Amino acid sequence: MSTHRRVWYPYASPFDPCPPITAKTYSTPPNLFLGFQPPNLEQFTPMQALRTGTLWKVFYDPWYSPYEAPRDGDHI
Amino acid sequence: MWLYEKKLQYPVKVSTCNPMLAKFLVEQYGGADGELAAALRYLNQRYTIPDKVIGLLTDIGTEEFAHLEMIATMIYKLTKDATPEQMKQAGLDAHYANHDSALFYHNAAGVPWTASYIAAKGDPIADLYEDIAAEEKARATYQWIINMSDDPDLNDGLRYLREREIIHSQRFREAVEILKDEQGKKRIF
């Protein structure tokens, strides 16, 4: 799991009508942590940048559905 | 003035005939946190924002229109050959009754787009914080759509769009830092 996911554990009642989801996750993308972008960060190649949507490796944080099978080349 | 380049910002490929996905995607087309709302919000706020960050709002507002075009292409591809029966099964019967397979600016629940989705307070910090919130909400919307979509090619495009939301949020946060900066302070790089 991406280091930009956080997890929390909601209360589950013995009388919950649906099977409880005991752990819930949420995204905390890299833009929350950097402040003003520092100089000389590592870059993707131009082709990788066009595919990922960012030139900067530090900002790349792709989202995958938990129900989706990853494909070759999904993770750079 | 704008120059139009007759291609999409990122290629849109749809691999399965699934009009139901169009129903979800329209949230990013005419929803409160969709690309239309984003583009109009930034391109309107830029007139009354300090000149150091006008260019940023122009650039991001313009890019949002490129995203709008991608979303439109996805919705169009998903519905263009759907029969009335398929539209009914996908829950798009109300849409079909009014629009056939034409696109329209409403959200996933069919509520038409309204200018009250966007704000222009005239206070630079208030406006930029709204913009940051809008980007984070659009990022979350993409997550929920990806979670419901089983089309890997479509998800590839949605992941690209979600990554752009992260970058836009970062740039708006930097704009806030620029405006917070002490005036007349000597900067040494």
DSSP string spanning B108-159?
Answer: TT-PBP-GGG----S-HHHHHHHHHHHHHHHHHHHHHHHHH---HHHHHHHH
DSSP alpha helix (H) spans, chain B = 19-30, 35-45, 54-79, 84-89, 93-99, 124-148, 152-180
What is the predicted pLDDT for the residue at B184? 65
Question: Is B3 domain-assigned?
Answer: no
In a domain, B49, yes or no: yes
Q: Which of B64, B95, B106, B130 is catalytic?
A: B64
Give the model's pLDDT for residue A72. 62
Q: At residue B31, does pLDDT exceed 60? A: yes
CB contact under 8 A, A37 and B143: no
Q: Is residue B174 less than 8 Å (CB to CB) from chain A?
A: yes
B149–A contact, CB cutoff 8 A:
yes
Give the helix/strand (H/E) hosting A24: strand A24-27
pLDDT at A76 over 60: no
This model of the complex carries an ipTM of 0.84
Given a cut of 70, whether residue B186 has pLDDT beyond it is no
Q: How many CA atoms lie within 13 A of B118 on its CB side?
A: 23
**Cβ within 8 Å, pair A63-B164:** no
Whether pLDDT at A1 is above 50: no
For residue B110, how many C-alpha atoms fall within 13 Å in the half-sphere facing its CB? 9
Residue B110 lies in a domain: no
| Residue B111 counted as domain residue | no
pLDDT per residue as tens digits for the range B134-146: 999 999 999 999 9
Is residue B135 among the annotated active site residues?
Answer: yes
Q: Please, is B128 exposed, middle or buried when counting C-beta atoms within 10 Å of its C-beta (0-12, 13-18, 19+)?
A: buried
Is position B188 within any domain?
no
Which B residues in the span 58-117 are in contact with A, Cβ-Cβ below 8 Å? none
A44 touches chain B (CB under 8 A): no
For residue A25, the cross-strand partners are: A7
State how many domains chain B has: 1
In a domain, B23, yes or no: yes
B91 belongs to a structural domain:
yes
How high is the pLDDT of residue A47?
A: 96
B8 domain-assigned:
no
pTM for the full predicted model:
0.91
Q: Range of B125's domain?
A: 19-105+120-180
- Comparing B188 with B126, the larger pLDDT belongs to B126
Which of the two residues, B52 and B17, has the higher pLDDT score? B52
Cα–Cα distance between A8 and B14 in angstroms, integer?
A: 34
pLDDT in tens, B36-67: 999 999 999 999 999 999 999 999 999 999 99
Binned at pLDDT 50, 70 and 90, residue A8 comes out as: very high
Q: Residue A5 corresponds to which amino acid?
A: R
* B67 tagged catalytic: yes
CATH code of residue B87: 1.20.1260.10
